[in-house]
Amino acid sequence: MNHTEPVSKVFYIAVYDITQPKRLAKALKTFRKYMNWVQNSAFEGELTARQFQDLKDELLKIINKEKDSVIFYHAEEQKHIGKKIIGIEKNEITQFY
């Protein structure tokens, strides 16, 4: 019998500040391949270690490390993160437990 280990995923929240419109457009396209958009300059989603590495590699080819910033927050399980919204929720795709 071939037992495969379940692929573990980590929940990430990404926030970014990209100063140039062309780089911003490329970064947005890249983020959308891997994560869910939640509002301006913020994405969230569960990624495997490979997906996270691929996302970082792609972003490093796009951003200017002297001018742009990307921050990733992470938790082993999404249910350990609380979420409070004041005002409108811009994207309701991701559900928190």
In whole angstroms, give the CA distance from residue 15 to residue 62: 15
Q: Are 22 and 68 in contact (CB under 8 A)?
A: no
All structural domains of the chain, each given as residue ranges with its CATH number in brackets, are 20-70 (3.30.70.240)
Name 39's bridge partners. 42
In whole angstroms, give the CA distance from residue 97 to residue 57: 30
Read off φ and ψ for residue 53, nearest 5 degrees: -65, -45
Q: Are 30 and 62 in contact (CB under 8 A)?
A: yes
Q: Tens digit of pLDDT for each residue in 2-27?
A: 566 678 999 999 999 999 999 999 99
Q: Which residues are annotated as a binding site for Mg(2+)?
A: 17
User: Residue 84 has what pLDDT?
Assistant: 76
User: Residue 2 has what pLDDT?
Assistant: 59
Q: Tens digit of pLDDT for each residue in 43-80?
A: 999 999 999 999 999 999 999 999 999 999 999 876 77
The distance of Cα 60 from the centroid of its chain, to the nearest Å, equals 14
Q: Which residues are annotated as a binding site?
A: 17
